[in-house]
Amino acid sequence: MYTSPHTATTDYAYFDRDVSWLSFNARVLGEAQKESVPLMERIRFLSIFSSNLDEFYRVRMPTLMALHHLGISNRSSTTLSQVNQIIQGQQETFGKIMTQRILPALQQKNIHLLYHEPIPEAIEAQVNAYFFNEVAAFLQVVDLAKTNDFFPANNQLFLAVTVSNRSGEKLFIVNIPSDHISRFFTVTHEGLQFILFLDDVIKHNIGKIFARQQVLSCHSFKITRDAELNLDDEFEGNLARKIEKQIARRDFGLATRFLYEPGLPEEVLSTLQEKLGLKTANIVEGGSYHHLKDLSALPLQDPSICYDRWPAIRYRIQAPLLFEEILHKDLLLHPPYHTYDMVLRFFNEAAIDLHVKKIYISLYRVARDSRIAHALITAARNGKKVTVFVELKARFDEANNIKWAKKMKAAGVKIIYSIPTMKVHAKIAVVKRKAHQKTQYFGLLATGNFNESTASVYTDHILFTAHQEMLREMEQLFRFLKQRKKTPVTPMAFHHLLVAPFNLQQHFMTLIDQEIRHAQQGKKASVTIKLNNLEEKKLINKLYEASQAGVTVTLLVRSICCLIPGVKGMSENIRVQRIVDRYLEHGRIFIFHNEGDPKIFLGSADWMNRNIYRRIEVCFPLYTEALRQEITALIRWQLDDTTQAVLIDDQLNNVPIHAENPSGKVHSQRMIKQALSDKI
């Protein structure tokens, strides 16, 4: 157990985790309001906002609802009703952005996105033809009076339709099959592009489904369900099989939200609540359309309404083989500014190199068509001993991870599945090569997943190294993972790597304590940290303590931030910024001043309870001076950003940072792209 050598007030305060998360989503919504952001990108930010909110309801709302219904709360400042109030305000803002800004801007481009309005007579024939030729094949009509087992799938779209006939009024459910065909139908008439929601195509033709009956009402709805996997790790049996069963059941989880179109009759709402088991769900009146993450798929072709293209930079190596280059020096890749080819080449070279004997890798989120997995399969077929740790509990990617695990296992890859009650979130790979009786290690250590798809939009950092001692520690960690136990059978000593839950938290606390001592001695002392999420209170308390001692603490926190900055007597020396831009900021970086000789670590670990206590995480040092300077420069540009960065104040507001000189505005992602391009 770590014990601090310093004493400080423990009367600390924290932002609520969920309110902080919603503050991040408000920042995403802010990008959709910016006139300076290209039109299609503003629409994509609306899509991201909608997707984030769906995830919040699937992942966080079940916990809030359970605490509320049990009368339990560990929050001093927030309640379920307050969270709902924040969400309602954000959804109202979303609607105003859509109707008052996005739709008029599209009209100026001769694009008419029909948004809760009648279908023009001029295109009606084409819409009707599309309904019969394409849509009708996927429609399913459910008579609620004749079934007791209808269970709407999670996050799928439906219509509640009431009709009147000779026998009285009846309620039907009709699916909106956006999981099979495009959410949008587009047609051009007299130079004007019309785009219709699939919802409206069906509504316009709903009378054709219920011929000779009077349609009284037709309103869309969707149900969001609990996405948490309730795995009982005490049960014996194959974990992969258990999780496959849980995935199959996930769409039948607790309903956390029933979202419906305005105007839905009260009696219909009441019937749906009763028949669909929605008594405990949040009943939310939304807008005319739901599941608006689909907006990112709007059929718009005009390149002028998108970000200007940034071709990825190809990292040039001097040696004939990548392994030879790595032996000569450590390399640092920064996707998506750099292409991902170097990572693919690392595994491709390993797969065909006759001297490579073993390959170890941890995979958290596998790409849908993973070229890395294909290379590992080839390596196994070429006689290498390939060991892959596949995390089966990677939320929303469980099914894809299991699919690839089965493929690799069939090819002779040794697959290690999840450790019970412990996720493996580390992003590490080791290649063991033996030539001329000499064993050499080559490794990859990353801040993000080995996933070539997300590498095109997530900013991450990947170290290629032949540091033999560090890589032997990684091999030791893989041997521990093979045991599939929470604690090692024999003690593990890490002198280079910081590994949660073993030494990572303690080492970071020690490094902060060192800065505290330097500040107390009158020396310059600073801590600079970039994270996705900051929640764990022991580490937050240590940062508060550092602030009280006079250490300058600068944080870049993209999403959840429970630390309250700028509070006199607690955190007046702490500054927190957040960047939302074309790329998702995803890298984790830790810089400690260390009397002018900075100690710099990169890694997979956010400072969340789950990362510190319930996950295997790896952070790693940068030893090469050139790479340390490179990371320091990247962070400096981000901290100086006056275009896309905001300050998080002590009220959790996203406060714009204004340049003192307008001509001196700093756009960090653009500057990083230019600087890396200039290095070629």
Q: Quote the CA–CA distance of 537 and 17 in Å, as a whole number.
A: 11
Name the residue with tokens 């450590």.
330
Please name which of 421, 385, 464 lies closest in space to residue 627, comparing C-alpha atoms.
Answer: 464
Please name which of 613, 274, 650 lies closest in space to residue 421, comparing C-alpha atoms.
Answer: 613
Report the Cα–Cα distance between both ends of the chain, in Å, rounded. 47
DSSP 592-653: E-GGGS-EEEEES--BSHHHHHSEEEEEEE---HHHHHHHHHHHHHHHT-SSSEEEE-TT--
Q: Quote the CA–CA distance of 369 and 214 in Å, as a whole number.
A: 48
Name the residue with tokens 């990684």.
474
CA dihedral 284, 289, 290, 291 (to 10 degrees): -160
180 noted as active-site residue = no
Are 511 and 592 in contact by the 8 Å Cβ rule? The answer is yes
Q: What SS3 class is residue 211?
A: coil
Please name which of 460, 464, 295 lies closest in space to residue 365, comparing C-alpha atoms.
Answer: 460
The rounded Cα 112 to chain-centroid distance in angstroms is 32
Give residues with Cβ within 8 angstroms of 452, minimum separation 6.
Answer: 340, 343, 344, 367, 370, 371, 372
DSSP 89-122: HHHHHHHHHIIIIIHHHHHHTTEEE--SSPPPGG
Name the residue with tokens 């009260």.
266
Q: Which candidate in 334, 425, 467, 593 is catalytic? A: 425
Q: Quote the CA–CA distance of 377 and 351 in Å, as a whole number.
A: 8
Beta-bridge partner residues of 500: 617
Cβ neighbours around 273 below 10 Å, total: 16
Q: Quote the CA–CA distance of 451 and 446 in Å, as a whole number.
A: 11
Are 272 and 221 in contact by the 8 Å Cβ rule? The answer is yes
- Residues taking part in catalysis: 425
